[in-house]
Structure 1
């Protein structure tokens, strides 16, 4: 396992880490603690030391599983969670320091930990990034020993650029993959200049970049890949990186042709992300221990060639950029 510095947190974290949106059950399935324990322990056994969760994953059950893992292992495991999405309605006005403080304390209780390594605002509405009192709260929480660091999880580049103006923001979690390349233009440079840790989520565009889907692929009704393709439940960009499904399949076929079959497309897609030094880690999800091991193979792949990197960019510029580039 290779490790990278998580910005000004100073943490040395596994460059391929773990996101836990679907840990404990595939999308659309009930949470299974037995499955979660297997996946989480397999991750740590393989050298992963950074786990990303959220209070809304499994309605708090994911946090409980992550906390149980941390308490049961001797290794230093860095835990990141998120807060804010429990607000109903999820509006800028609903973001109030008292509510966010309660969410952090609930997360501590769920995980049975005294301190959280990283708490991230969970994709709040854009207006929240213009309210200093929200960010000041986390200085108080750090002084009280409840958190070590504040981060944000964003939908839009604009939000990331605004967030990193606050000196207590140490990390930004961003969607970045072969189908979502806009962060490269300005945001990565600004994040590096301010020593911000970059956590990459949705690296496989909700599975599109595995190359395993087809027009006939069926998704369960309660799987976001079935019900959120047009942003019906939350930001459209969280599902297939906002790319139209059939267009995505066409682009995937072209990527497979230019990258070849020396390694699975999913591993090559993860390796592509790791080509950028600004990235601290990528957090693909896993619904089985076997998926953990498959994801980790990306770290052992050779660097993509200049020609391959150019080919990926060409597919993006021609098939994807006109549809989504300026949306996020």
Structure 2
């Protein structure tokens, strides 16, 4: 099945406008079995998804390994510089294995170790894309880190590199370094700040944008209410106040009750003929400068619901203005100045 493809920044690859984020297939979202993970990956690839986003810390490598197994039975498999057009593009991340989690841990030796581990997990000689995984802020301006990554490109361990950021300021700092091919950032109806400066600067620089947390950890599916609960091992339970990592990764930093109420308004703006999730994903796809949006999925139905956004028409001017008003009135105060 075909889907709109867009150039992924300086990587030289074209990828589907809807990718698959695979944090759910590793951990921190409740249990996802081996069989369920395989079905999710197969459904996404069969539906035309050509970009898979993972990380070495998702389930301590489980997500990467599940991707390797899913691709092993498909023609061509996966492999960096020699990657054929029909092979999915696999973007992974490195750096959150740093212990302690400090900028000084981002040495060439540690980066090489993390990258080599991902190569083994994914079963490839060359990784398509390695993204610095929301490192300590000082790392984004450390030229030694970029020099090491440039060397890994030259030696063929990685084909390209990018950064995953928490804040717009971090993204702008990374854009000062010409080797950066992509930036991954939280972008959704409830997190609009990247539209103001980061996306336009990245677009002018020819840098790809991977939009993550596009459904605000499920808030923008419109399926939650104030009484919804989550499993003990689900970050939507244990990280609501940033106890484990940046709170912006959980519900996009929006207080749960505020988000639930605002999501009801999003559903009303979307109307009865389209799912709230697909509507929210279409909004992201249509933002100037976005290459691909990477929603996660725990089951095949979620995959199909996400992919449906690629064939939706663009939002109307009236819907866009209603969403902007909703953001200004209900959400902006919680998130805009923090990231």
TM range (shorter): over 0.9
Quote the Cα distance in structure 1 between the aligned partners of 2:236 and 2:113. 31
Q: May I ask how many residue pairs the two structures share in their alignment?
A: 327
CA contact (8 A) 2:26 2:60 kept: no
> Could you list the runs of 5+ residues in structure 2 that have no partner in the other structure?
76-85
The answer to whether structure 1 residue 114 and structure 2 residue 125 are counterparts is yes
Give the Å deviation of 1:24: 5.9
TM-superposition CA deviations, 1:185-208 (whole Å, max 9, x none): 111110001001000000000000
Secondary structure of the structure 1 residue equivalent to 2:209: strand
Q: 2:206 aligns with which of 181, 192, 195?
A: 195
Superposition map of 1:69-218 within 5 A: 69-74=70-75, 75-218=86-229
The answer to whether structure 1 residue 13 and structure 2 residue 15 are counterparts is yes
Secondary structure of the structure 2 residue equivalent to 1:307: helix
CA contact (8 A) 2:54 2:63 kept: yes
> Could you list the runs of 5+ residues in structure 1 that have no partner in the other structure?
none
TM-superposition CA deviations, 1:228-267 (whole Å, max 9, x none): 1111100000000000111111211222222212211101
TM-superposition CA deviations, 1:265-302 (whole Å, max 9, x none): 10100011111131100000011122111111111111
Q: 2:275 aligns with which of 244, 251, 264?
A: 264
CA contact (8 A) 1:24 1:33 kept: no
* RMSD of aligned residue pairs (Cα, Å): 1.2
Q: 2:244 aligns with which of 222, 233, 242?
A: 233
| Residue 60 of structure 1: aligned partner | 61
| Residue 327 of structure 2: aligned partner | 316
CA contact (8 A) 1:25 1:35 kept: no
Quote the Cα distance in structure 1 between the aligned partners of 2:181 and 2:234. 32
- Bigger shift: 75-84 or 172-181? 75-84
Secondary structure of the structure 2 residue equivalent to 1:40: helix
Give the Å deviation of 1:33: 2.5
Quote the Cα distance in structure 2 between the aligned partners of 1:255 and 1:288. 23
CA contact (8 A) 1:18 1:50 kept: yes
